[in-house]
């Protein structure tokens, strides 16, 4: 699905330069706040998420990851660099577009929460 620029309901840009996987800078707190607001009641601590078509430097990847925190969720759908993430939740699907230095114009992908029965 190709989303028009006006279709995105949340846009966040990560400009934090944290030295470790843990970051408590104000810029990161803003990122986690807005992503959490977009997920709303879809968020579930410890859930497994499926990403379809995440744009990396040399290919789009798909796969699952577990997120115990919003930080984990964001790390599962972004890269370790400066990036801009656009989101729009439609029911149980989160449509996303990620832009970063290797994909400056951004590419779309989808995120869904896997049902417990899908983990078997």
Q: What is the pLDDT of residue 23?
A: 63
* Residue 74 falls inside a structural domain: yes
In-domain check, residue 78: yes
Give the orientation angle of helix 70-77 with respect to helix 26-39, to 10 degrees.
90
Q: Is residue 29 part of a domain?
A: no
* 11 located within any domain: no
Which parts of the chain have pLDDT scores under 50? Answer: 1-6, 119-120
- Helix, strand, or coil here: 45? coil
| H runs (alpha helix) in the chain | 26-39, 70-77
What is the span of the domain harbouring residue 80?
A: 44-115
pLDDT given at position 24 = 59
Give CA–CA dist 79/76, Å, rounded. Answer: 8
Q: Domain count for the chain, please give it.
A: 1
Cα 44 from chain centroid (whole Å): 14
């Amino acid at each position: 699905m190709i989303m028009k620029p006006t279709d995105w309901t949340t846009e966040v840009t990560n400009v934090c330069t944290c030295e470790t996987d843990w970051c408590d800078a104000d810029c990161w707190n803003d990122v986690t706040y807005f992503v959490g607001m977009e997920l709303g009641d879809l968020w579930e601590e410890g859930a497994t998420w499926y990403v379809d078509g995440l744009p990396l430097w040399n290919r789009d990847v798909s796969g699952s990851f577990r997120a115990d925190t919003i930080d984990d969720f964001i790390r599962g759908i972004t890269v370790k660099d400066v990036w801009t993430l656009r989101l729009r939740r439609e029911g149980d699907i989160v449509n996303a577009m990620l832009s970063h230095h290797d994909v400056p114009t951004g590419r779309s992908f989808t995120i869904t929460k896997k049902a417990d029965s899908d983990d078997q």
